[in-house]
Structure 1
Amino acid sequence: MDQVPGSAGDHAAAGGPPGCYRHPDRATGISCTRCERPICPECMVSASVGFQCPDCVRDGGGTGPAPESMRPRTVAGGVVSADPRLVTKVLLGINIAVWVAVMVVGDRLVRDLDLFGRALTPSGVEGVAEGQWYRLLTSAFLHEQPMHIAFNMLALWWLGGPLEAALGRSRYLALYLLSGLGGSALAYLLADPNQPSLGASGAVYGLFGAMAVLLRRMRQDMRPVFVLLAINLAFTFFPGSQISWQAHVGGLVVGAAVAFGMVHAPRGHRVAVQRATCAAALLVVVVVVVLRTLQLTG
């Protein structure tokens, strides 16, 4: 990175990037992922996502727990945790546990948990339109084929860890669940109500969208994510693939929108904006589901 003479104020006044907080004469476009102060290459300390400044690294390395208000924060304002993959591990465990249960119980469990709008089953008319709204969420943790769960869990591990570290546990969990619900809602709205669907792909595509937003926010190379996303979308829309493109697109859009609200929320109103973003995403899901239910039952 080029070094530009002048103070931080000079850079800002000229409309250029700010100066490093420790070396004001060095313009930089990189910020610490914890405190968001500008840092130059000499001050950058590599982290799981982005870079941290020396002060945050030193403050985060103490032997005792710091007060909540003094603990280092992620780029989205979440508290930096000792295990940045804990929620990802729990989500992996739930998906795998449900898959094992399907292997043991068989098709009956799949019929009880998968997503479909409204259809005649051996137990009568069932589906989301008949009040079984839980299928919007349970189907996002349901898999049958080994390759299906393998690909989804690999993507969850690859994308989930960095996103959890960047957002914090509660924000990351909200992102994952809302992405899964967004994918289910669009599938419920547009797919054949008799056609069942299942899988964590909607939530995983939401993580793809969130990762693209995060990398852009951190000014990092977005090409690897875009290439992998393009490959997956190509498989999604490949003729005869029998993949629920509605769930993929719904999850992708909701994940990107929620992540944008989280990482671009102004610091002075960060929590309020992030909560409003999540509430708006959930409201859209509810409205879509209600409208589709009225359509199928009216």
Structure 2
Amino acid sequence: MDTISTNPPPAEDGRTTCYRHPRRETLLRCARCDRHICPDCMREAPVGHRCPDCVRDDNRTVRQARTVFGGRPTSRPVVTYTLIALTVLAYLLELAHPAILDQFDSIGTALVDDAGQRYVDDGADYPGYRLIGIAHGEWYRLITSAFLHLLPTQGVLGILHIVFNLYWLWLLGRVVEERLGGSRFLAVYLLAALGGSVLGFLVDPHQGAVGASGAVYGLAGCYVVLARRLHHHPIEPSRVIIPFLIWMVLSAGWTSWQGHLGGLLVGGLAGLGIAYAPAKRRTAVQAAVIVALALLLLALVLLRSMNLNG
């Protein structure tokens, strides 16, 4: 089908004007549709110049570049930096209002009195006390706990808690986001955070926990899978293994191993689904893996909640 010119009629003296700016005189034409364009509307093209409408039409038909795993390439790890900023912002809010820790940690079930004091839920009915936790509908704790960290009042370990997690997020996040693209990277991060909270809820629902460790361990598991798939390790293993070992020694006895293990397993499984998805239906398979893992985790939360409330 031929393009119909929509140039404005020439002026009485024969002058031609831009089809988008009728008051601007011009002799330039679009190399594709042959309409007159002024210098402000002129866009560079492989041959000659084109108008904005033709450039827009061309962009719709151009195949977008993709990473090796199907994501959109990004020049900057925007999602990684955004997660870091949100974690720092949450920490500043904690410093201003320490009660946020009790309101958004990953506690499964507990009793709270009017003063906010928390007690272990032993299944008995205590007048004047209310039940809180994931088992009682506060499912948001599964994710919000991943953005909170111990306060400096817990000593030097409280500061190291957020420092180490932000370091690993910065180190691993940039590489994983570059390979997966922003949306897939965010899905893996949140899914790993969910996995860590869920395993903690399943094993010990009476123990609350906070920290991005589960999500970060999930990034580590995903990174290992991607690196093996490509046979390329952009990060020296010592830069990952040594800090992890140091943190495991320093935090032994007071961190949630369930959160670490849950995040690692879920992040690794998500990485497998993304890295080894068939090229023909890659996006659909990857989305199905992410959704299936999320539904499985939520189903486990539901079953555990029913068990605790029964």
| TM-score exceeds 0.5 | yes
Deviations 1:38-84 (A, max 9, x none): xxxxxxxxxxxxxxxxxxxxxxxxxx99658523211111111232x
Contact 1:119 1:126 (C-alpha < 8 Å) held by counterparts: yes
Kindly indicate whether residue 86 of structure 2 is the aligned counterpart of residue 86 of structure 1: no
In the superposition, the TM-score normalised over structure 2's length comes to 0.69
Kindly indicate whether residue 148 of structure 2 is the aligned counterpart of residue 142 of structure 1: yes
**Aligned equivalent of 1:76:** 69
Name the CA shift for 1:202/1:289 in 2 (closer, same or farther; >3 Å).
same
SS for the counterpart of 2:131 is: strand
Q: 1:197 aligns with which of 209, 214, 226?
A: 209
CA shift at 1:227, angstroms? 7.9
Q: Distance in 2 between matches of 1:242 and 1:128?
A: 21
**Aligned equivalent of 2:178:** 165
Kindly indicate whether residue 274 of structure 2 is the aligned counterpart of residue 262 of structure 1: yes
More off after superposition, 149-158 vs 256-265? 256-265
Kindly indicate whether residue 297 of structure 2 is the aligned counterpart of residue 294 of structure 1: no
Name the CA shift for 1:96/1:76 in 2 (closer, same or farther; >3 Å).
same
Stretches of structure 1 that go unaligned for 5 or more consecutive residues are 1-63
**Aligned equivalent of 1:209:** 221
Deviations 1:76-107 (A, max 9, x none): 11111232x1000000011000000000112x
CA shift at 1:232, angstroms? 2.7
**Aligned equivalent of 1:245:** 257
Kindly indicate whether residue 92 of structure 2 is the aligned counterpart of residue 100 of structure 1: yes
Stretches of structure 2 that go unaligned for 5 or more consecutive residues are 1-55, 115-129, 151-157
CA shift at 1:263, angstroms? 1.6
Q: Distance in 1 between matches of 2:250 and 2:90?
A: 28
Q: Distance in 2 between matches of 1:86 and 1:104?
A: 27
CA shift at 1:235, angstroms? 5.0
SS for the counterpart of 1:268 is: coil
Q: Distance in 1 between matches of 2:61 and 2:223?
A: 27
CA shift at 1:167, angstroms? 0.2
Contact 1:115 1:139 (C-alpha < 8 Å) held by counterparts: yes
The amino acid of 1:75's aligned partner reads V
Kindly indicate whether residue 286 of structure 2 is the aligned counterpart of residue 274 of structure 1: yes
Q: Distance in 1 between matches of 2:304 and 2:187?
A: 24
Contact 1:237 1:245 (C-alpha < 8 Å) held by counterparts: no
SS for the counterpart of 1:279 is: helix
Q: 1:131 aligns with which of 118, 130, 137?
A: 137
Contact 1:77 1:270 (C-alpha < 8 Å) held by counterparts: yes
Fraction of identical pairs, as percent: 39
More off after superposition, 218-227 vs 171-180? 218-227
Contact 1:205 1:251 (C-alpha < 8 Å) held by counterparts: yes
Contact 1:182 1:251 (C-alpha < 8 Å) held by counterparts: yes
SS for the counterpart of 1:276 is: helix
Instruction: Give the paired residue count.
Output: 232
Kindly indicate whether residue 140 of structure 2 is the aligned counterpart of residue 120 of structure 1: no
In the superposition, the TM-score normalised over structure 1's length comes to 0.72
CA RMSD of aligned residues (A): 2.3
The amino acid of 1:291's aligned partner reads L
